[in-house]
């Protein structure tokens, strides 16, 4: 690649290292055990210190290098000076080396909108933290004997947590970065944790091995903590061979591109643009689709409504099948934008 990468490639290269830094913050807060949990709209809509610090880090780092970007983060935070140690200045060299797709070469900073979910899967993050704390207490009470089985059941929730940075132009998700801070948590103490995936339609997706669900199995992944009757009616209407209930929009898209699930079905308002922008870009980069339950794409313009009111339907293949199975009663319960 030339010595003068396109603006959008420089933004993605920064977003990559910024997401890694945010992932490190998310790990650090978990290990401190002091989560600083705040309820936003209720007990299933939480914010922790990790959400706050990670958002500060991401938004301040990107806007310092690219002051004309429009950046929209999930958390409403009071305006405040961001400490210097939260600022990430690096750029992923391997992204700068890639050629920019022709259609994005001339994009300007002020034309891009960045959607930031500093910690997707907060509910699961708090549950995993509680599990780790119980494990630590049990270890003290049993004076170091192996109690790891006792409270290990909720640790899988660590993989539900992701950091999402999506980049949009003209209403379309054109690049996405997902950091999964606890990837490889199973390897135990001392293992290097975390991975970062990124993608751009027209260029490809990187940081994972693309896989499809074997055969014609319909494995539907959906929410574990924001369900209701409409959500489950819609899942059942897909005639799934298997249903997986996990947390996080980012995590569910990872399941789609790694062959663990065939469709992400969430017939409910609840997901916001920062939940879907980065995942959509990566999914699209490998030929997948993300729409509302009507099969209509969302717009990621700066002035759109944040809520994905008509639900989220995402697939790697066979999107039309899943759209065609959505019951009328479900569509009536959801409003298209």
Q: Which position has the token pair 């977003």?
A: 15
What residue number has its CB nearest to ligand AMP?
A: 270
What residues between 168 and 197 interact with ligand AMP by CB under 6 A?
none
Among 113, 271, 282, 283, binds ligand AMP (CB under 6 A): 271
Tokens coding 82: 């961001």
In degrees, rounded to 5, the angle at the alpha carbon of residue 103 between the alpha carbons of residues 275 and 249 is: 10
Q: Which stretch binds ligand AMP (CB under 6 A): 106-114, 138-146, 183-191, 242-250?
A: 242-250
Contact partner at residue 181 from Mg ion, ligand AMP, none, CB < 5 to 8 Å by partner kind:
none
Annotated catalytic residue, options 51, 117, 159, 275: 51
Task: Give the β-pairing of 195-200 and 172-180.
Answer: antiparallel
Instruction: Please name the helix (run of DSSP H) or strand (run of DSSP E) that holds residue 324, with its range, or none.
Output: helix 319-325
Tokens coding 109: 């900073």
Tokens coding 295: 């099969």
Tokens coding 31: 């290990």
CB of 268 to Mg ion, least distance (A): 14
The yes or no reply on residue 282 touching ligand AMP (CB under 6 A) is: no
Contact partner at residue 223 from Mg ion, ligand AMP, none, CB < 5 to 8 Å by partner kind:
ligand AMP
Q: Which position has the token pair 């939940």?
A: 275
The yes or no reply on residue 275 touching ligand AMP (CB under 6 A) is: yes
The yes or no reply on residue 73 touching ligand AMP (CB under 6 A) is: no
The yes or no reply on residue 270 touching ligand AMP (CB under 6 A) is: yes
Q: Which position has the token pair 């293992």?
A: 191
CB of 277 to ligand AMP, least distance (A): 12
Cβ neighbourhood burial of 202 (10 Å; 0-12, 13-18, 19+): middle
Cα–Cα distance between 65 and 71 in angstroms, integer? 12
CB of 20 to ligand AMP, least distance (A): 20
> Does 291 qualify as catalytic in the annotation?
no
Residue 59 in contact with residue 199, Cβ under 8 Å?
Answer: no
> Does 51 qualify as catalytic in the annotation?
yes
Q: Which residues bind ligand AMP (CB under 6 A)?
A: 44-45, 120-121, 223, 225-226, 247-249, 270-271, 275
Active-site residue list: 51, 122
């Amino acid at each position: 690649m030339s010595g003068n990468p396109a603006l959008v490639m420089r933004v993605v290269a920064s977003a990559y290292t910024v997401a890694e830094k945010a992932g490190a913050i998310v790990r650090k807060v978990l290990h401190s055990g002091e989560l600083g949990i705040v309820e936003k709209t209720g007990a299933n809509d939480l914010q922790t210190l990790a959400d706050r610090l990670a958002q500060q880090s991401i938004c301040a780092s990107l806007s310092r290098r690219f002051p004309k970007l429009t950046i929209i983060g999930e958390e409403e935070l009071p305006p405040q000076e961001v400490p210097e140690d939260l600022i990430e200045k690096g750029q992923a060299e391997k992204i700068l080396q890639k050629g920019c797709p022709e259609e994005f070469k001339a994009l300007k900073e002020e034309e891009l909108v960045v959607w930031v979910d500093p910690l997707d899967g907060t509910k699961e993050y708090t549950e995993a933290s509680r599990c780790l704390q119980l494990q630590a207490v049990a270890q003290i009470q049993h004076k170091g004997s192996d109690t790891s089985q006792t409270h290990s059941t909720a640790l899988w929730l660590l993989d539900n947590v992701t950091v999402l940075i999506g980049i949009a132009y003209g209403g379309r998700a054109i690049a996405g970065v997902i950091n999964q801070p606890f990837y490889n948590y199973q390897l135990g103490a001392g293992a290097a944790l975390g991975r970062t995936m990124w993608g751009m339609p027209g260029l490809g997706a990187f940081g994972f091995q693309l896989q499809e669900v074997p055969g014609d199995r319909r494995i539907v992944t959906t929410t574990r903590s924001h369900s209701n009757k409409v959500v489950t009616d819609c899942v059942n209407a897909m005639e799934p061979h298997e249903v997986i209930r996990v947390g996080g929009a980012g995590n569910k898209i990872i399941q789609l591109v790694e062959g663990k699930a065939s469709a992400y079905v969430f017939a409910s308002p609840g997901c916001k643009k920062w939940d879907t922008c980065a995942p959509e870009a990566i999914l699209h980069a490998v030929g997948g689709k993300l729409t509302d339950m009507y099969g209509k794409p969302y717009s990621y313009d700066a002035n759109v409504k944040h809520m994905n009111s008509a639900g989220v339907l995402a697939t790697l293949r066979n999107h039309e099948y899943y759209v065609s199975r959505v019951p009328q009663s479900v569509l009536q319960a959801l409003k298209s934008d």
